[in-house]
Structure 1
Amino acid sequence: MAGDETTFRLVFSVLILLLSIIRAYYFLKVRSTGRKVFWDRESIRLEGRITALSIQFAGFVFFVIFVLYAVFPDWISGFALALPDWLRWLGALLSFLSLLLFAWTHQALGASWALHIQPGNQGRLVTTGPYSRVRHPMYSAIFLFLIGISLVSSNLLIVLLCAASIILIYLRIKREEELLIMQFGGEYTEYMKRTGKLLPKF
């Protein structure tokens, strides 16, 4: 059993590493254009302090998830769930596929990507790639990734932390869309009519 758990911790760590590499690559790519990527006072004012802080807290929770399961698994072993191996491997596959979507969304956004939204400094409205069918495919990718690593970890505490992160990020979407309407006006409202929020509109 210990050997199996070591394998899943390795898979978990590799998935986190791949996510970090993708984000770091596109972060540096956007930074090279001179565009602001980090939160600042203006972005926090526009999105609302609670919304902005909730996203930052979700990032902190994500870091805690990694440390607990990948580095100090004995600390949370009492929360272990008896999930079958096939379900845990399915979670690994789900997370891996979500990384492909995560990279695709970054590629489609290009220099328009940032950790926050700023009306007047948002660039063009991206409606290509995954954005042709879904308005927030990056969040879709993150949600799928969190669900996947929850299954991989097979740990109730990790499941609860991932669920908390999903809720916090989801609550941001409404405010983000308000800011996008402020920026793009009718162009964005028309875009909303033909696309789904997190899944394609059929």
Structure 2
Amino acid sequence: MGYDSLWTGDRVLAPYVPGAPCPSGDGEMPRAYENHMDPQVALTFAASHTTRVHLGTSNLNGLWLPPIMLARALTTLDLLSQGHLIVGLGLGWMPDEYTAVSVPWKGRGARLDETPDVPEEYWAGDVFSHRGPLLTIPETVGGLKPRQRPGPPVLLAAFTPGGLRRIGRRLDGWLLVVIPIAHLTDMWDVIRKEAVQADRDPSALRTALRLNPA
């Protein structure tokens, strides 16, 4: 059909009355969310049927798995897709889902800030460990590596100053949704300026824009 990439989202609940309004449209949750498959399993199935199309997550709620298991899952998927994975991470917006997966809602921004460090370190060397402000992973041999080196591109769905800084300074791009163009360009300027200050090439940053058509 000519598509260059296929993307999945990440929902585990579809309550009739969510604990927070849906951030798009009129605040109502789209009823299509009642039918969400596991995103990584769905992409693994898609990977077995293509050698060309890129496979992405828009977005994968990065805190619902322990970071070491997230790193293993992403590495596995990149290998099985022959290096066609695009990782899009985010937080989600519904507290109900955090309750369902036994992950604290409070402090999620700080945890998401550190979570991408774990896959990056997991992919980097033959020996892996992590000790950060919130996460500790004991040293282990890290034999499993992704097809893409140094790793699949990691995009972040972020709209706070801290998230925009991390994209510019550390990550591969921005996973965004349709917002007023003035806000979009202002935030993109922040990301590019952060990249320059970190001695990175801002033109190498990528974006993926998600539009949910009615």
TM-score (norm 1): 0.30
TM-score (norm 2): 0.29
Structure ranking higher in strand proportion: 2
Larger RCO, structures 1/2 (Cα 8 Å, 6+ apart): 1
